[in-house]
Copies of this chain bind each other. A is one copy, B any other.
């Protein structure tokens, strides 16, 4: 199909498609004559995936390109893909603090990982992000909020098991890779969205109890 047809089928305007081509997110089409380039169904699917990552997942162009480079890598494995998607998606802040505060937070995260019997490395982007979060809670003297982390961890463990089981059911490697990307990128957004709804419900229930606003 021509670029106009690609735009029509995906709802993505032609200038935006050209931008994705220039930025290396979308592979070039096949040039069939000096002024004609053909695109295939794979381009339709890739464009939808790009939109999902950018608009729903909130990834930057650079982060989306990093993930797609891994998707297209011949050496890809589902485990490697998951790692690439995780690294691209996880924003790790750098929280100021003394060496002592940092080491204390690292110990707390190690202990949490051990408590949940997880096999994971401190290089995991989530691990590094969690150290920053623990330091932030401690800096704000809100150790009480840290007590919630074990509940979060238990929930995360259950979800990861379900996610990987769903991944195992997907027949093709392409499908598995796409699932790993979507599960990581959109899974965060979905979980955050569901937390908002559940929090509204919990807040209603608490408000109702003492008959006060």
Report how far A5 CA is from B103 CA in the complex, Å.
26
**Chain B hits for A120, CB < 8 A:** 197-198, 200-201, 204
* A37 located at the interface, meaning its Cβ lies under 8 Å from any Cβ of chain B in the complex: no
Kindly identify, within residues 150 to 164 of chain A, every residue whose CB is under 8 Å from any CB belonging to chain B.
151-153, 155-164
Contacts of A125 in B (CB 8 A): 193, 196
Residues of A168-213 whose CB lies within 8 A of B: 168-170, 178-179, 182-184, 186-207, 213
B193, A133: Cβ atoms closer than 8 Å: yes
| Secondary structure dominating the interface of A | helix
Cα–Cα, bound, A137→B126 (Å): 25
Q: Report the nearest B residue to A190, measured CB to CB.
A: B133
A-B contact pairs, 22 of them (CB 8 A): A51-B136, A79-B204, A79-B213, A86-B196, A124-B197, A126-B194, A126-B197, A129-B189, A129-B192, A130-B190, A136-B186, A142-B179, A151-B159, A155-B158, A156-B194, A157-B201, A160-B202, A163-B202, A164-B199, A184-B199, A187-B195, A188-B191
Q: Residues of A at under 8 Å CB distance from B? A: 11, 45, 48-49, 51-52, 55-56, 58, 77-79, 82-83, 86, 89-91, 93-96, 113, 116, 118-121, 124-127, 129-130, 132-133, 136-137, 139-140, 142, 144-145, 147-149, 151-153, 155-164, 166-170, 178-179, 182-184, 186-207, 213
